[in-house]
Amino acid sequence: MLRASRHGPLTRIELLPTLLGRPVFSVSAYLLGDTLIDSGCQKTAAELAAWCDGRGIARIVHTHHHEDHAGGDRLLVTRFGLEVSAPPLTAAILEDFYRLPIYRRVVWGQPGNVRARAMAGAVEIDGRRFDVISTPGHAADHVCLYDPGSGWVFTGDLFISPEVLYLRRVEDARKHLDSLRRILELQPRVLICSHAGVIQDASAALSRRIAHWESVAERAKLLRARGRSLGSLTRELLGREGWMTWISLGEFSKRNLVRSLLRGRPDDPCATVVGGRDDAFV
């Protein structure tokens, strides 16, 4: 399923893969000038390609490599000869995409390999100069694209929603919080998110997003200091796990979020609260 909506010069292309006939996990690509920002997943690639036909699109620019952001590339490159630009780490993955775990292949589909041009510093889109800002945490290769002139920022999966409850096991919630704070410091005006859409008050949204995880981290530390287990305190703070936790065999869970928020960096004084006890969490 595909839904397109205009926001001034920007078009949001909302893509909804289906599972057992029902739409799941909406993700958005964007069109600005002749450039697509991300390309959705492999399962929605044919719909996106049909929509792109005749629109004079020349290239795809990526925020990160995940399969719900780069899965449309192969078909678009094959059909229209689009150029792909991506952060260097992303470009390396796109050229030889790793085999996804089965639940990710079932929901989003396996991306095909594409040649990508490595971009760094800044990228020009529709006459605007976007700074390419490294924002790791959700993924090591994740970047935001920020135009200081208009205050627009494409945030990929940095924001997602005001209250994110689930994390993949490999994600780093503390790095993610640092990245959120770094983008907030820029005082962007409009936040363009791959899941939440176009948000006009970017700073308020980012502040709320940061405050939610900081609050979860603080309460988790208090409960942990009282000797509560990770499972027990996660249930108290965030409720029971959802169906994605079970079909992903725990790769995608609330427990992962709390564990990652509690696990401090060695130079982080907060880490001493759980220092030496991390093993008990695994």
Take residue 170 and report the two structure tokens written for it: 């490999």
Residue 176 binds Zn ion, judged by CB under 5 A? no
Nearer to Zn ion, 73 or 224 (CB): 73
Q: Per residue, what are the HEC states of the chain?
A: CEEEEEECCEEEEEECCEECCEECCCEEEEEECCEEECCCCHHHHHHHHHHHCCCCCCEEECCCCCHHHHCCHHHHHHHHCCEEEECHHHHHHHHCCCCCCHHHHHHCCCCCCCCCEECCCEEEECCEEEEEEECCCCCCCCEEEEECCCCEEEEECCCCCCCCCCEECCCCHHHHHHHHHHHHHCCCCEEEECCCEEECCHHHHHHHHHHHHHHHHHHHHHHHHCCCCHHHHHHHHHCCCCHHHHHCCCCEEHHHHHHHHHCCCCCCHHHHHCCCCHHHHC
Nearer to Zn ion, 140 or 271 (CB): 140
Residue 38 binds Zn ion, judged by CB under 5 A? no
Rule CB under 5 A: choose which of 12, 62, 65, 66 binds Zn ion.
Answer: 66
Question: Pick from 139, 134, 108, 111: which is nearest to 121 by CA?
Answer: 134
Residue 156 CB, shortest distance to Zn ion, in Å, is: 7
Nearer to Zn ion, 25 or 281 (CB): 25
Residue 127 CB, shortest distance to Zn ion, in Å, is: 28
Q: Which of residues 70-99 bind Zn ion (CB under 5 A)?
A: none
Residue 157 binds Zn ion, judged by CB under 5 A? yes
Residue 232 CB, shortest distance to Zn ion, in Å, is: 29
The one segment of 59-67, 125-133, 163-171, 185-193 that binds Zn ion by CB under 5 A: 59-67
Residue 236 CB, shortest distance to Zn ion, in Å, is: 28
The one segment of 19-27, 65-73, 176-184, 203-211 that binds Zn ion by CB under 5 A: 65-73
The one segment of 83-91, 123-131, 155-163, 229-237 that binds Zn ion by CB under 5 A: 155-163
Residue 200 CB, shortest distance to Zn ion, in Å, is: 23
The one segment of 21-29, 126-134, 152-160, 272-280 that binds Zn ion by CB under 5 A: 152-160
Residues near Zn ion, by CB under 5 A: 66, 157
